[in-house]
């Protein structure tokens, strides 16, 4: 079969005026009956584990590969590209091509600046200027009390750096020190998310694509295929913390329905600033990174999507976690763009994205929050249950059971619909329940092996950076993919180095994003919310005293 991907030498192509390099997406066709094309279509029918070998992507240097069909003065057209490709495929395979999409890069091509670039530059300049000015006041003018100037205080890099290493509220409150293990859980989860998304370069730049198709038979690689189930951990933690915080809040304040919009708006205001910054940065600055034959495929659609619909994602909180789903879908669509694939795949849209499919894990988290709060107030002694710790230690390996079972649906055998339905219904609640039990053991110090790892004090800093790392990691993956000018031969060791690099670079980029955007925005939000609560409590106290005097 013809190779799915091919790239002419990019560096040697664009050397003089008039040189053009085009990336073409095309289908294989034949005017006459072709045994080879029939075999390709038959092989590609297994869309769960095979690429579509009739849809190819080639990078062509027109001056070298298509000099007979294109001149330096002519405009590139589908007809020119098809004629060029047909010469090769007719001679080698007795097949023709039909170009469906192409993008070209010319010698010394530049991207024009626009008003959005100016606005993004102004935002970066303002944030940097505020940070430098506030840090200068904080470090050198010690006679000025920045506590009286919250705007300047929260933009001070020195102040935010101390916040980065400072204990969380849950660690300073004696009742809430029990949640220290959540730092380690967050860091491990974001690392696994990056691990899952590191598969994108594989399906875009790999020379040995057969390895990807055979990965469905490798037990070690099942985490790439069904690892999206780890997202249930976030729903368990979210439900647990919501209930626990509401219960502790009710000890001091009255809870009514007015609290619900307040909680939603506070959460929205906390999440949106860094997310909006990344969206705007993608829509503007990343345009100027255009280079390489894979740039349009890897990141072009992402930029256009941010330009057209980026503002809408900031108005819906569910979109902030949309990309937490790892890539485990039919390979035949991955030959186009990942964004288009996500938009059309029925399993992704109907099973992964829908909120109601995650309700069981969230409900388990709510129940866990109530249970922890009630047992904490009672004289609960977990020591008498420690004889079952071997069963507890088996829970973590048991979390991999649905990941392994899900791989059976990628085999050649077609399973009955009720098995698919049973797996879809049971897998998420099963995983959520195991996670809840494990967290319960962490909270009440049931054992010291798992808990000792997840309560490591250094996780705290990385945990604070985890949200920003989540926001930037996919951009880093896409930029890495777009930087390729040649196909690569990926092995286990190169993949290990690549994943490690993605994790480290994501956390490194997340650090300035946290210091300059997330930390100032959350600090200001916390200041004004605290000030508002104090004023409201003071008004209620004055009203109650006034009513008593009457």
> How does pLDDT run across 263-307, given as a tens digit for each residue?
888 888 888 999 999 999 988 888 888 778 888 888 887 888 887
Residue 136 maps to a domain: no
pLDDT at 472 over 90: yes
Q: For residue 8, give the nearest of 335, 202, 210, 292 by alpha carbon.
A: 292
Nearest one of 508, 531, 541 to 194, comparing CA atoms: 508
Q: How confident is the model at residue 330 (pLDDT cuts 50, 70, 90)?
A: very low
Mean pLDDT, rounded, for 493-511: 92
Give 161-167 contacts, CB < 8 A, sequence gap 24+. 161/515, 163/519, 163/523, 164/461, 164/464, 164/465, 164/514, 164/515, 164/519, 165/460, 165/461, 167/460
pLDDT number for residue 131: 92
- pLDDT confidence bin for 250, thresholds 50/70/90: confident
Residue 352, in any domain of the structure: yes
Question: Is 423 among the domain residues?
Answer: yes
- Report CA dihedral (398, 399, 404, 406) to the nearest 10 degrees: 130
Is 381 buried (19+), middle (13-18) or exposed (0-12) by CB count in 10 A? exposed
Domain-embedded: residue 133: no
Whether 323 and 277 have beta carbons less than 8 Å apart is answered as no
Secondary element (H or E) of residue 27: strand 20-29
In DSSP terms, which residues pair with 105 in a beta bridge? 21
Tell me, what's the pLDDT at 345? Answer: 55
In this structure, the answer to whether residues 41 and 177 fall within a common structural domain is no
Q: Is 458 helix (H, G, I), strand (E, B) or coil?
A: coil
pLDDT tens by residue, 179-221: 889 999 999 999 988 988 887 777 788 887 777 777 777 766 7
Domain annotation covers residue 424: yes
If asked whether residues 252 and 322 sit together in one domain, one would say yes
Residue 500 lies in a domain: yes
DSSP 387-401: GGHHHHHTHHHHTTH
96 and 173 within one domain: no
Give the per-residue pLDDT at 125: 95
Count of structural domains within the chain: 2
Domain hosting 53: range is 5-106
Q: Does residue 196 share a domain with residue 102?
A: no
Choose one of 56, 87, 106: the last residue of a domain: 106
Examine the domain organization and report whether 367 and 298 are in the same domain: yes
| Same domain, yes or no: 359 and 439 | yes
Residues 372, 380: Cα–Cα separation, whole Å: 10
- Express each pLDDT in 49-69 by its tens digit: 788 889 999 998 888 888 776
Rounded to the nearest 10 degrees, the angle between the axes of helix 359-377 and helix 417-443 is 20
How far apart (Å, rounded) are the C-alpha atoms in residues 407 and 413?
12
Report if residue 472 sits inside a domain.
yes
Kindly give the interhelix angle for 232-250 and 359-377, rounded to the nearest 10 degrees: 40
Instruction: Round to whole Å and give the CA distance between 11 and 35.
Output: 37
Lookup result for tokens 């070209």: 104
**One domain for residues 69 and 184:** no
Select the more confidently predicted residue: 514 or 117: 514
Q: Worst-scoring range by mean pLDDT, 160-164, 174-178, 292-296, 319-323? A: 319-323
For residue 104, the model assigns a pLDDT of 87
Q: pTM (2 decimals)?
A: 0.83
Q: Give pLDDT, residue 543.
A: 53
Gap between the Cα atoms of 193 and 503, Å rounded: 10
- Evaluated on CA atoms 169, 171, 173, 175, the torsion sign reads positive
> Mean pLDDT of all residues in the chain?
81
Contact (CB, 8 A) for 127 and 156: no
Are residue 88 and residue 9 in the same domain, yes or no?
A: yes
pLDDT for residue 414:
74
Average pLDDT over residues 459-476: 93
Among 96-100, 130-134, 317-321, which stretch is predicted with the lowest mean pLDDT? Answer: 317-321
* Pairing state between β 20-29 and 55-61: antiparallel
Residue 339 has pLDDT above 50, yes or no: no
Q: Which two tokens stand for residue 63?
A: 């001056």
Residue 146 inside a domain? The answer is no
Cβ atoms of 103 and 57 within 8 Å: the answer is no
- The token duo for 382 is 């977990």
The two tokens of residue 259 are 């609290």
At residue 381, φ and ψ (nearest 5 deg) are -115, 110
* Residue where one domain finishes, among candidates 106, 123, 150: 106
Task: Indicate the residue among 73, 106, 139 that finishes a domain.
Answer: 106
Angstrom distance (rounded) from CA 183 to CA 442 = 12
Both 278 and 405 in one domain: the answer is yes
Residue 98 has pLDDT above 80, yes or no: yes
Most confident stretch, 101-115, 400-414, 507-521: 507-521
Q: Are residues 182 and 102 in the same domain?
A: no
Res 541: pLDDT: 52
How much is the average pLDDT of 477-492?
86
Q: What is the pLDDT of residues 3-57, one digit of tens each?
A: 889 998 888 888 887 788 889 999 999 888 888 999 999 888 877 778 888 999 9
């Amino acid at each position: 079969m013809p190779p799915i991907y091919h790239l002419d030498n990019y560096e040697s192509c664009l050397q003089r005026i008039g040189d053009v390099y085009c990336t073409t997406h095309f289908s294989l066709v034949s005017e006459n009956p072709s045994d080879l094309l029939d075999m390709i279509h038959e092989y590609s029918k297994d869309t769960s584990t095979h690429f579509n070998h009739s849809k190819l992507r080639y990078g062509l240097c027109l001056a070298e590969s298509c000099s007979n069909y294109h001149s330096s003065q002519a405009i590139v057209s589908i007809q020119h590209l098809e004629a060029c490709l047909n010469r090769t495929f007719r001679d080698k395979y007795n097949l023709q091509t039909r170009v469906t999409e192409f993008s070209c890069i010319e010698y010394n091509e530049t991207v024009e600046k626009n008003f959005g670039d100016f606005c993004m530059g102004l935002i970066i300049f303002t944030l940097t200027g505020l940070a430098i000015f506030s840090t200068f006041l904080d470090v050198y003018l010690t006679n000025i009390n920045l506590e009286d100037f919250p705007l300047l205080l929260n933009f001070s890099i020195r102040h935010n750096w101390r916040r980065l290493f400072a204990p969380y509220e849950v660690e300073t409150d004696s009742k809430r020190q029990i949640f220290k293990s959540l730092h380690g859980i967050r860091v491990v989860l974001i690392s696994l998310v990056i691990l899952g998304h590191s598969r994108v370069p594989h399906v875009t730049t790999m020379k040995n694509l057969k390895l990807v198709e055979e990965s469905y038979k490798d037990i070690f690689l099942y985490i790439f295929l069904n690892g999206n189930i780890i997202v249930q951990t976030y729903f368990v933690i979210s439900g647990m913390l919501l209930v626990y915080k509401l219960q502790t809040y009710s000890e001091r304040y009255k809870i009514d329905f007015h609290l619900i919009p307040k909680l939603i708006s506070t959460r929205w205001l906390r999440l949106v600033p860094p997310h909006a910054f990344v969206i705007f940065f993608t829509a503007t600055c990343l345009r100027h990174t255009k280079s390489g034959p894979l740039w349009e495929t890897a990141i072009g659609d992402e930029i256009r999507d941010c330009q057209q619909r980026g503002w809408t994602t900031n108005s819906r909180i569910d979109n902030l976690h949309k990309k937490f789903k790892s890539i485990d879908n039919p390979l035949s669509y991955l030959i186009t763009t990942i964004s288009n694939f996500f938009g059309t795949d029925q399993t992704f849209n109907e099973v992964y994205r829908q909120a109601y499919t995650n309700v069981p894990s969230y409900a388990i988290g709510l129940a866990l929050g109530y249970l922890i709060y009630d047992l904490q107030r009672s004289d609960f002694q977990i020591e008498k249950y420690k004889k079952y710790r071997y069963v507890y230690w088996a829970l973590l390996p048991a979390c991999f059971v649905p990941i392994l079972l899900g791989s059976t649906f990628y085999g050649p055998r077609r399973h009955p619909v009720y098995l698919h339905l049973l797996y879809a219904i049971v897998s998420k609640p099963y995983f959520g329940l195991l996670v809840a039990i494990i967290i319960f053991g962490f909270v009440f110090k049931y054992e010291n092996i798992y808990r000792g790892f997840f309560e490591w004090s250094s996780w705290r800093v990385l945990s604070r950076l985890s949200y920003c790392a989540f926001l930037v990691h996919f951009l880093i993956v896409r930029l890495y993919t777009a930087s390729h000018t040649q196909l690569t031969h990926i092995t286990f060791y190169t993949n290990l180095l690549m994943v490690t690099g993605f994790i480290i670079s994501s956390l490194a980029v997340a650090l300035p994003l946290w210091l300059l955007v997330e930390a100032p925005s959350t600090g200001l939000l916390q200041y004004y919310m605290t000030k508002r609560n104090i004023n409201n409590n003071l008004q209620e106290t004055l009203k109650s005293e006034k009513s008593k005097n009457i």
